[in-house]
């Protein structure tokens, strides 16, 4: 004889198992969709700094002591004036989010690209510098303190027309998704007033995995 009680229990158990599997698949799909939506949101507010184009408009950049420089598109400035060093780069934000500059590190000559400067070596900016998406902006810095270990190094490098390397630390408008982009300034033309051409050689993620390791 058929034990209908047993059959009923087995059918109930099978139905429960099927429902559990369906629930698990639905939860996994929902989690995956949530991760995709989160990544899309982060990409939507993520900046990416590159040099501006040569045909971009010039920008007038003021420094804290009243000094100003006019920076052409695709170029930078590196000038010694009255014992002070003035630096600047014309930038473009190729990302979708507002770029907020956090700090910078100065180096002389071509640097290896196997790693960025330690975060503790970065100078903080004394003013808020923001660059809108798909728009141009600038980076600026200065050495005025003669006791700074890089003050004389920067003066000597600029006067001898050496390549300059600048690591710029920045992130999105909420302070996240920090990245470091390495720029170079290379002098060309007149020794008295050279043109400093700008290029970017590397980008590093600070708060996210390095895509090169995937």
Domain shared by 13 and 101, yes or no? no
Domain shared by 85 and 11, yes or no? no
Domain shared by 86 and 139, yes or no? yes
pTM: 0.80
> What tokens were used for 81?
């004036």
Residue in the structure block whose two tokens are 């903080």: 124
Domain shared by 36 and 93, yes or no? no
Domain shared by 32 and 135, yes or no? no
Give 190-211 pLDDT, tens digit per residue. 777 789 999 999 999 998 887 7
Whether residue 36 is predicted with pLDDT greater than 70 in this model: the reply is no
Q: DSSP class of residue 78? A: E
- Report how far residue 204's alpha carbon sits from residue 190's, in angstroms, rounded to the nearest whole number: 34
Who wins on pLDDT, 17 or 81? 81
Nearest to 163 by CA among 192, 127, 209, 196: 196
Domain shared by 159 and 77, yes or no? yes
Domain shared by 28 and 73, yes or no? no
Whether residue 2 is predicted with pLDDT greater than 70 in this model: the reply is no
DSSP states along the chain: ---HHHHHHHHHHHHHHHHHHHHHHHHHHHHHHHHHHHHHHHHHT---EEEPPTTSPPEEEE-TTS-EEEE-TTEEEEEEETTEEEEEEEEEE-SSS-EEEEEEEEEES---SSSPPPGGGPEEPSS--EE-TTSEEEEEEEE--TTSTTHHHHHHHHHTT--EEEEEEEE-TTS-S-EEEEEEEEEES-SSS-EEEEEEEEEEESSS--GGG-
Average pLDDT of the residues of the chain: 86
Radius of gyration of the chain (CA): 27
- Read off the CATH number of the domain in which 148 is found: 2.60.40
Whether residue 6 is predicted with pLDDT greater than 50 in this model: the reply is yes
Domain shared by 81 and 105, yes or no? yes
Nearest to 73 by CA among 86, 59, 88, 87: 59
Domain shared by 102 and 9, yes or no? no
- How much of the chain exceeds pLDDT 90, in percent? 63
- Report how far residue 185's alpha carbon sits from residue 195's, in angstroms, rounded to the nearest whole number: 9
Please give the tally of structural domains in the chain. 2
Mean predicted confidence (pLDDT) in 154-168: 96
Domain shared by 25 and 112, yes or no? no
Q: With bands split at pLDDT 50, 70 and 90, how would you rate the model's confidence at 175?
A: confident
**Helix, strand, coil share (%) of the chain residues, nearest 5:** 25, 35, 35
Beta-sheet strands, E only, within 10-163? 49-51, 59-62, 68-71, 75-81, 84-93, 99-108, 123-124, 130-131, 136-143
Q: What is the residue range of 56's domain? A: 49-213
């Amino acid at each position: 004889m058929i034990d209908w009680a047993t059959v009923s229990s087995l059918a109930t158990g099978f139905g429960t198992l099927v429902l559990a599997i369906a629930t698990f698949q639905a939860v996994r799909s929902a989690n995956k969709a949530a991760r995709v939506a989160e990544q899309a949101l982060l990409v939507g507010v993520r900046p990416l700094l590159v040099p501006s184009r040569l045909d971009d408009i010039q920008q007038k950049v003021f420094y804290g002591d009243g000094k100003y420089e006019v920076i052409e598109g695709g170029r930078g400035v590196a000038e010694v004036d009255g014992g002070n060093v003035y630096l600047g780069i014309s930038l473009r934000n190729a990302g979708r989010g507002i770029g907020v500059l956090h700090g910078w590190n100065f180096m002389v000559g071509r640097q290896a690209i196997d790693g960025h400067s330690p975060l503790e070596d970065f100078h903080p900016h004394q003013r808020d510098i923001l660059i809108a998406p798909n728009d141009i902006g600038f980076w600026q810095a200065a050495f005025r303190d003669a006791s700074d270990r890089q003050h004389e190094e920067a003066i000597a490098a600029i006067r001898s027309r050496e390549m300059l390397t600048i690591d710029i630390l920045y992130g999105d408008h909420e302070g996240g998704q920090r990245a470091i982009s390495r720029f170079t300034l290379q002098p060309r033309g007149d020794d008295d007033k050279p043109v400093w051409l700008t290029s970017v050689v590397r980008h590093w993620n600070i708060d996210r995995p390095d895509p090169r390791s995937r």
